[in-house]
Amino acid sequence: MELLKERIRMDGRVKEGNILKVDSFLNHQIDISLLNEIGREFKHLFDGKKITKIVTIEASGIAIACLTAQYFNVPVVFAKKAVSKNIDGDVYTSTIKSYTHGNEYTAMLEKRFLTQNDQVLILDDFLATGKAQLGLLDITKQAGATVAGIGIVIEKGFQGGGDKLRAAGYDLRSLAIIDSMENGTLCFRK
Amino acid sequence: MELLKERIRMDGRVKEGNILKVDSFLNHQIDISLLNEIGREFKHLFDGKKITKIVTIEASGIAIACLTAQYFNVPVVFAKKAVSKNIDGDVYTSTIKSYTHGNEYTAMLEKRFLTQNDQVLILDDFLATGKAQLGLLDITKQAGATVAGIGIVIEKGFQGGGDKLRAAGYDLRSLAIIDSMENGTLCFRK
């Protein structure tokens, strides 16, 4: 998606440890017009697929999932990261190791919001090693739901998670795939 | 907002400790059509006000803020709750005591995303004692930005936070105000 790549080139900042910061438009401050175009692009890429629910994980996945869901006319369910009084006992859980935060957390999703009748589109802002996506796939599998596709805004191709998911047979579409970011220079996959 | 009150009556569940669960449509599973109507209603309520940015706090505020922002054509900035590698040093912070989670956390917002030129609409899903809103007001004050208004989806009127903010002069609009929920029966303020 050219509009997105241009924006990453213009406003993205490469930090130590292969961290790409896009917090001026994607995951801290949010450019709603851009996210609407992202939603439209996901609709285009997954058009014709039967999708009953969009699944993501808090926090930055929520914005992408909600704006995209408008094009699919389906509800969003987001997995939660922390134990709270507001989570019932009857939940699917999966343990996820975070590359960004350097810790481990449990993703939780209430059982009544995902069933074997669901055809799921998994959406997220970033895919690197694929740990968060594997957690969501795990939860989807526990629910007996079908994975219709995985949509990612920015894939760090050089970290390999995306290609592993493709090799495993998932219909994974990333709007921008970064194959290297050495010395702060971003190279996008063709 | 009648549509919202009807939905709360139909799908909300009252739990011990005055907790109202609306996670089937507002803050775990998200009904995008309803949130679009909520966005339209906030636009109606704050129409004519100059607003340059919508400010909220992760996680469930993000969905409401993003769908509402479409009607105002402004960016969203959400305060983050946890320290991560992805947050720069140059941030506003405010400590917030969570009623729902029974703990204390620090809300953080990068300085470059909120300045004295901003006219802010603060949005959130719930207002009870008002602690989260006071944290966002504190951050807005640190930035020197102006608070144009505060929009809340569900206010627990009986916990008093909303009326304190109104008494302090804020233009606070809540789409549904619950004045009591004793024995599981919801009474909305007229």
Distance from chain centroid for Cα B97: 15
Cα(A57)–Cα(A61) distance, integer angstroms: 6
Cα(B62)–Cα(B86) distance, integer angstroms: 18
Using alpha carbons, select from A73, A63, A71, A8 the residue that is nearest to residue A45.
A71
Is A93 among the domain residues?
A: no
Ramachandran bin of B118, using left for φ above 0, alpha for ψ from -120 to 50, beta for the remaining angles? beta
Is A163 among the domain residues?
A: yes
Cα(A155)–Cα(A130) distance, integer angstroms: 9
Q: Which residues are A107's β-sheet partners?
A: A94
Q: What is the reported pLDDT for B103? A: 79
Which among A32, A66, A81 has the least Cβ separation from residue B30? A66
Cα(B95)–Cα(B51) distance, integer angstroms: 26
Shortest distance, CA A128 to any CA of chain B (angstroms):
14
Contact state of A100 with B113 under an 8 Å Cβ cutoff = no
A139, A113 in Cβ contact below 8 A?
no
Cα(A57)–Cα(B45) distance, integer angstroms: 31
Q: Is the pLDDT of residue A4 over 60?
A: yes
**Best residue in A36, A54, A85, A91 for a mutation probing chain B (most B CBs within 10 Å):** A85
Using alpha carbons, select from A117, A45, A36, A22 the residue that is nearest to residue A70.
A36
Q: What is the reported pLDDT for A16? A: 86
Helix (H, G, I), strand (E, B) or coil at A63: helix
Q: What is the reported pLDDT for B16? A: 86
Return the percentage of chain A with pLDDT > 90, whole number.
Answer: 85
pLDDT in tens, A82-134: 655 555 579 999 999 876 667 788 999 999 999 999 999 999 999 999 999 99
B143, B114 in Cβ contact below 8 A?
yes
Q: What is the reported pLDDT for B105? A: 87
Cα(A187)–Cα(B6) distance, integer angstroms: 51
What residue in A sits closest to B14 (Cα-Cα)?
A86
**Environment class of A69 (CB within 10 Å of its CB; exposed 0-12, middle 13-18, buried 19+):** buried
Shortest distance, CA A89 to any CA of chain B (angstroms):
13
Give the residue numbers in B contacting A (CB under 8 Å), as ranges: 17, 19, 21, 23-24, 27-33, 35-36, 58-60, 62-63, 65-67, 69-70, 73-78, 80-82, 84-86, 100-102, 109-110, 112-113
pTM of the model as a whole:
0.95
Beta-carbon contacts of B169 under 8 Å, excluding residues fewer than 6 positions away, are none
Q: Which residues are B186's β-sheet partners?
A: none
- B contacts of A109 (beta carbons < 8 Å): 28
Structural domain including B74 reads 2-188
List, in sequence order, the alpha helices (H) in chain A.
2-11, 32-45, 60-72, 131-143, 161-167
Is A103 among the domain residues?
A: no
Contact state of A59 with B63 under an 8 Å Cβ cutoff = no
Q: What is the reported pLDDT for B84? A: 52
What residue in B sits closest to A65 (Cα-Cα)?
B63
Return the percentage of chain A with pLDDT > 70, whole number.
Answer: 95
Shortest distance, CA B169 to any CA of chain A (angstroms):
27
Which among B66, B101, B102 has the least Cβ separation from residue A66? B66
Cα(A130)–Cα(A51) distance, integer angstroms: 22
Is A149 among the domain residues?
A: yes
- Give the CATH number for residue A69: 3.40.50.2020
Which among B59, B73, B101 has the least Cβ separation from residue A59? B59
pLDDT values of chain B reduced to their tens digit, one per residue, 190 residues: 999 999 999 999 999 888 999 999 999 999 999 999 999 999 999 999 999 999 999 999 999 999 999 999 999 999 998 655 555 579 999 999 876 667 788 999 999 999 999 999 999 999 999 999 999 999 999 999 999 999 999 999 999 999 999 999 999 999 999 999 998 899 999 8
The pLDDT of A32-43, averaged and rounded, is: 98
Is A85 among the domain residues?
A: no
B153, B174 in Cβ contact below 8 A?
yes
Is A98 among the domain residues?
A: no
Contact state of A32 with B78 under an 8 Å Cβ cutoff = no
Q: What is the reported pLDDT for B184? A: 87
Q: What is the reported pLDDT for B18? A: 85
- B contacts of A80 (beta carbons < 8 Å): 28, 59
Count of domains observed in chain B: 1
Confidence of residue A17 (pLDDT cuts 50, 70, 90): confident
